[in-house]
Amino acid sequence: MARVVVDVMPKPEILDPQGQAVARALPRLGFTGISDVRQGKHFELEVDDSVDDETLAKIAEGFLSNPVIEDFTVRRIGA
Amino acid sequence: MARVVVDVMPKPEILDPQGQAVARALPRLGFTGISDVRQGKHFELEVDDSVDDETLAKIAEGFLSNPVIEDFTVRRIGA
């Protein structure tokens, strides 16, 4: 078994209202020095060693993200 | 400027309906070997070098996560 992390983020040219709301709220709350916040999704999958990287990319692209507006990264973090 | 990543995940004892929905759908869609999926949030912050780790932990705990039901990790990924 391996643990696989898939991070899904809005593409840079896509507006991110959730992230902007956090970024605008922080100075009001007394936290300065944060110039940008973007919010995406983080998935952790428990995966058999038989599952190859191509299959993981298909899962990430097809079911965990919307490739029109989001980018994803896949990484294995343990054996 | 540094880039800071905050990952927020439901605590292990908390049900995760979104993750379970993905985990149950994958075999139907022809993907086997994925035994568990958990879904959380992924934040990327652009942060001045003057912002210390304690401040980042306060932001993550207070505004990016709900510490009753979620765990978070903070890591700096670039200078």
Q: How confident is the model at residue B38 (pLDDT cuts 50, 70, 90)?
A: very high
Interchain contact, A42 vs B39, CB within 8 Å: yes
Q: Which residues of A touch B37 (CB under 8 A)?
A: 43-46
List of domains in chain A: 2-78 (3.30.1280.10)
pLDDT in tens, A23-76: 999 999 999 999 999 999 999 999 999 999 999 999 999 999 999 999 999 999
Distance CA B42, CA B34 (A): 21
Residues on A contacting B at a C-beta cutoff of 8 Å: 1, 7-9, 19, 22, 25-26, 29, 31-48, 50-51, 55, 58-59, 62-64
- Tell me what pLDDT residue B72 has: 98
Of all residues in chain B, the one with the smallest CA distance to A63 is B22
